[in-house]
Structure 1
Amino acid sequence: MASTKTEVAHDFHPWFRVYKDGHVERFLGHPFVPPSEDSQTAAVRSKDVTVSTTASARLFLPKAAAPREKLPIVIYIHGGAFSMESAFSSLYHNYLNSLVDECRVIAASVEYRLAPEHPLPACYDDCYAVMKWVAQHDGGRPPGSETGPDPWLNDHADLGKVYLAGDSAGANLAHNMVVRANGDGLMKISGLVLIHPFFGNEQPTKLWEFICSDSGGVNDPRLNPGAHPGLLSKLGCEKVLILTASKDFIRERGRSYCEALKASGWRGAVETVETEGEEHVFHLFKPTSEKAKAMMRCLVSFINPTNAPSA
């Protein structure tokens, strides 16, 4: 008789497999790397902070930032089908280093609980906990009187220039964080960056149904916001950048999100940029390619145009 340690209960290859004894096997992912706060050579410093009992973040700061120099802040949410990867993995650590260096921003890369061990909405709640933590750092207070728990954010975060960004499932999370923050009046969001966003497709999504404890089906507003123009019209940010790739298996929902946003009555500015001949999140795996560099230039122009190279 087969052991429950080897009997498969649910198979969601290439993401993960759940065995009958409850343990989860993941097929993709990168090793964790430590932050580099004390590096003498890196252009970007980083450190880890605990936000709540379930959420944490890795902060990134340009090493050349002048004392108390205010910078735009990017709250970045990693992808991985809600079930893989980490803000602490080499893949995302390296990408955030590049993003912070190129854009000249301070960034908080969100570490959230993963499904299936922690079904949705756990990841949404963790991301929002980080947003609330960031919002405590009131950049408008006189020097020395800040109330936020982290000195980097007290000294350098311009809370008048807050950007949410994410790739794949992280883009889904980023969109939903902007919606939730607007509804709660948490903070002003300057812009939203959706990189190869995961908003499902026209067919029932088995993975979503399995990992989401309170799923509303294929048109759940968290999964398919384009089906809810009333919510899109209240998107609480000034501008949106949607990045797609021509060979991405989920690109159509990114495009339809853009069209739904335009038609919703939302008064912000939305831009879509598609990379020809590339697949889903190619920029993470080929960061030095010319197309990945072009994508980074788009991000710099959108988030911090004063740091964009002159034509």
Structure 2
Amino acid sequence: MDSATADVAHDFYPWFRVYTDGRVERFLESPLVPPSLDVRSKDIAISATASARLFLPIAAAPNEKLPLLIYIHGGFFSIESPFSSTYHGYVNSLVAQSKVIAVSIQYRLAPENPVPACYDDCYAVMKWVAQHKDCAHRPGLDPWLSEHADFGKVYLAGDSAGANLGHNMVVRTDGDGHWLKKFSGLVLIHPFFGNEEPDKLWEFICSDSGGVNDPRLNPAAHPCLLSKLRCEKVLIFTAGLDQYKQRGCTYYAALKKSGWEGAVEIENAPGENHVFHLSDPTSDKAKAMMKKVASFINPANMPPLCEKEAGCAINSA
């Protein structure tokens, strides 16, 4: 069959379409960009399927220890990359503002690589990062992490599907001796979680789905797992016009009720859509969100929000 005339077999627009000849067409993707110069950055191949872009502030002094941020990009498990202009720009700006060292994870995308490939790739990067803890230089390790990462201040963050992956990495690393007893914090921006209704996209891209209450998809349905979340604090962002807003609110409520002993905070941006901060990063609300995240992961480096900034995006959900 001619690829140009193939029929649509599965339509998940605006994320992707799968045609009867096996071709996958993606939408909403940003162009790829090289590592930057304003904040030092470089790309690292970690395994045959996983890689990352590392970011280090130019202002970092030799051997200066900085909080470590592990960032996981969104895109409904099927589009985008840490190398795209969208995510490179966001993490680059966050590193510059917060003065942290960051690892932005590249994972395999669905539907060609069904779930759990993305979870496995993120975990592979997490294990690689953890090898730098208390280690001198040796083959396979990166000197930026060995010299500058403070493993007493490790944060995970992600948006949309990346927030889902971030939560699951905290859960999955439980019992991994490389990591500390607790992560310092978890940032969930407009998280993509499930609810009690079937999700056609998840069912299509997941090769081992446990249904609507799969703990990877719907953590709110598993209070026992939430109660053991190895994280000191959690910051959740929602957006007023986001169709997934209630998923973040449900996670927040379930975490509070689970008996978990950490601190959880939720912020809502009224009148905004899903991941608005990426599509319009110069807006007042996006700038206020950026400053909130930066102060969460490195409060020692950040002045408090001014009155105007606090009024832009900081609202009770």
Give the TM interval when normalised to the shorter protein: over 0.9
Q: Distance in 2 between matches of 1:282 and 1:183?
A: 36
Q: Deviations over 1:183-209 (max 9, x none)?
A: 434412111000000002342100000
Check 1:186–1:235 CA distance in 2 against 1; reply closer, same or farther (3 A cut).
farther
Conserved in 2, the CA contact under 8 Å of 1:73 and 1:105? yes
Matched, 1:178 2:167: no
Q: Which amino acid aligns with 2:32?
A: F
SS in 2 for 1:237: coil
Once the two structures are TM-superposed, the CA of residue 23 in structure 1 deviates from its matched residue by 1.2
Aligned residue in 1 for 2:314: none
Q: Distance in 1 between matches of 2:296 and 2:48?
A: 34
* Structure 1 unpaired stretches of 5+: none
Q: Distance in 1 between matches of 2:232 and 2:174?
A: 12
Conserved in 1, the CA contact under 8 Å of 2:74 and 2:161? yes
Q: Distance in 2 between matches of 1:173 and 1:98?
A: 22
Matched, 1:291 2:282: no
Conserved in 2, the CA contact under 8 Å of 1:5 and 1:19? no
Once the two structures are TM-superposed, the CA of residue 301 in structure 1 deviates from its matched residue by 1.8
Once the two structures are TM-superposed, the CA of residue 4 in structure 1 deviates from its matched residue by 8.3
Q: Distance in 1 between matches of 2:194 and 2:60?
A: 40
Once the two structures are TM-superposed, the CA of residue 297 in structure 1 deviates from its matched residue by 1.6
Q: Distance in 2 between matches of 1:25 and 1:105?
A: 36
Check 1:3–1:56 CA distance in 2 against 1; reply closer, same or farther (3 A cut).
closer
How is 1:80-99 mapped onto 2 (pairs within 5 angstroms)?
Answer: 80-99=75-94
Q: Distance in 2 between matches of 1:128 and 1:151?
A: 21
Once the two structures are TM-superposed, the CA of residue 2 in structure 1 deviates from its matched residue by 7.3
Aligned residue in 1 for 2:125: 130
Q: Distance in 1 between matches of 2:4 and 2:151?
A: 51
Conserved in 1, the CA contact under 8 Å of 2:191 and 2:244? yes
Once the two structures are TM-superposed, the CA of residue 109 in structure 1 deviates from its matched residue by 0.3
TM-score (norm 1): 0.94
Q: Deviations over 1:110-135 (max 9, x none)?
A: 00000000000000000001100100
Specify which of 88, 100, 104 is matched with residue 105 of structure 1. Answer: 100
Conserved in 1, the CA contact under 8 Å of 2:213 and 2:221? yes
SS in 2 for 1:110: strand
Aligned residue in 1 for 2:9: 9
Q: Distance in 2 between matches of 1:93 and 1:3?
A: 33
Conserved in 1, the CA contact under 8 Å of 2:79 and 2:109? yes
Q: Which amino acid aligns with 1:86?
A: S
Conserved in 2, the CA contact under 8 Å of 1:201 and 1:250? no
TM-score (norm 2): 0.92
How is 1:41-52 mapped onto 2 (pairs within 5 angstroms)?
Answer: 42=38, 44-52=39-47
Q: Which amino acid aligns with 2:162?
A: G
* Structure 2 unpaired stretches of 5+: 307-317
Aligned residue in 2 for 1:255: 249
Q: Distance in 2 between matches of 1:2 and 1:33?
A: 33
Conserved in 1, the CA contact under 8 Å of 2:196 and 2:213? no
Specify which of 215, 219, 225 is matched with residue 225 of structure 1. Answer: 219
Aligned residue in 1 for 2:63: 68
Tell me how many residue pairs correspond in the alignment.
302
Q: Which amino acid aligns with 2:9?
A: A
Specify which of 261, 266, 269 is matched with residue 263 of structure 2. Answer: 269
